[in-house]
Structure 1
């Protein structure tokens, strides 16, 4: 029988197969039917919110890209975002790709005093500050000056002449750093690929929902976050669906015994979601 803790993760995976197959799996595993409307809303109560503290920085960023006032309230105090991002939330700056309309600021954020941030007077000052960075502390301070509209300036400055290493480090671990800019920063002559990727992993930076869905371990944690994504970052969730759907359909599909094995393995499985799926199929064999 599926436990309450497994329900969200199993439900996320079941959404990747057709309805008839999912119905048979629910019957076999004891997983109750899910209310789509409820799955698309944040849970009520406070206990579940403790899990937000452990979210990777990139997941928090995907949440902010929703430009949802209710979601912004939840992540405003998250340790993975800095005062520049908080400053922009209070100003209603949109973060979703291509969006320009001001985001409504929930009254719940009125209890917070505006964070004190240093803003550059223009591209010249920002570029000068970044070029003067000589320590990680200076790098972090300079990185906090960068807002959504400043990334083209950063990219252009680095293209003309590579920014100092500490500046690149600090900018690359900002969750809002554009992927193409982050990739460029990783080519700095002082950064080995292993060192750079380790630094990003430690900071909670992931290339995108597809990479998160296929490489994060342990699988229970990844599936819990992906299930939460139905209300927290629905605009980006399709990327995770696309990455996992072919494997789940090929390895599990309507094989109810494989799904039952997966439900048993899930609570303590330490590998990735793809490893969980293939392991369950291998144990169950071809029985349907």
Structure 2
């Protein structure tokens, strides 16, 4: 393995141990330190890795205009998110409005606010009259960041139809407390997971394959570091205990990472066991 094709996943795991120990591992594996990439390149890498849709929200939560520009030009960003980005609405804790910097310098890029039709019955009325998944998704597109409180209140007063709840829950910016209000039926939870709505802990513990999960976290260190910190807190204890300063365990990891089909915790535990001869 050389520094030109270093596994981003190995680099991420190395960031969880002491820098001096990480340097010894890099020497053993024949790899260098991570090669910096700009934010646009990191966003492109996340696309290629099939990162869950939730990473788009994790990026927006930074309330950083330059990061918002990277999100705005991702293929998976729907019109509702683009509208709120163009309005300078914060997705994190910033007061807003945020500066808007979405110009990518290409003539074919449209920076106009997308047209999102509203129901003649109003926002809540449109959600209540949705009787198909398609109609519910159309109605859910009309919800903007300031509208979520009203949606939650309407659902408490009289539960919204199931299709509307599903469509709203699949919006990556649906507040977690509103999703919890919608319920925790396994079918609903699985639908959200399949739609790429995950939390960092769930992604680390259940995501597959490990090579892609760890690479997403590696590039996330610059695009959503606050969320990567949550993932690192989950992984760090096992990485330090199973791999730590054991150079043989890291060598096993470098070999297995490309093809291992389990989860990240399973990979780390397997490498530690093999190195110990278990």
TM superposition score normalised by structure 2: 0.89
Contact 1:63 1:232 in 2 (8 A): yes
| Distance 1:140-1:158 versus aligned 2 partners, 3 A rule | same
- Choose which of 203, 211, 224 in structure 1 pairs with 2:215: 224
Once the two structures are superposed, residues 21-68 of structure 1 have per-residue CA deviations (whole angstroms, 9 ceiling, x without a partner) of 111111111121236xx36x4365x9x826516321101211222233
Shift of 1:71: 2.8
**Kept in 1: contact 2:68–2:85 (CA 8 A):** yes
Match of 1:251 among 238, 242, 249: 242
The number of residues matched between the two structures is 274
Deviation at 1:268, TM superposition (A): 0.8
What do residues 128-169 of structure 1 show as CA deviations (whole Å, max 9, x unaligned)?
222222111221011111111111111111111211001001
Between the aligned partners of 1:183 and 1:281, the Cα distance in structure 2 is: 37
Shift >4 Å, 4+ stretches: 2-6
User: TM-score, normalization: structure 1?
Assistant: 0.86
RMSD: 2.6
Aligned-pair CA distance for 1:79: 4.1
Distance in 2 (CA, whole Å) between partners of 1:212 and 1:177 is 18
2: CA distance between counterparts of 1:249 and 1:83?
43
Inter-CA distance 6–218: structure 2 relative to 1 (3 Å threshold): farther
Mapping for residues 137-148 of structure 1, pairs under 5 Å: 137-148=134-145
Q: Which runs of 5+ in 1 are unaligned?
A: none
Query: Whole-Å Cα distance in 1 between the matches of residues 248 and 87 of structure 2?
Result: 52
Q: Does 1:276 align with 2:263?
A: no
> Is contact 1:13–1:248 with CA below 8 Å preserved after alignment?
yes
Structure 1 counterpart SS, 2:90: coil
Tell me if 1:196 matches 2:183: no
Shift of the 222–138 alpha-carbon distance from structure 1 to 2, 3 Å rule, reads same
CA contact (8 A) 1:84 1:147 kept: yes
Kept in 2: contact 1:11–1:227 (CA 8 A): yes
Q: Quick check: 1:126–1:145 contact (8 Å CA) kept in 2?
A: yes
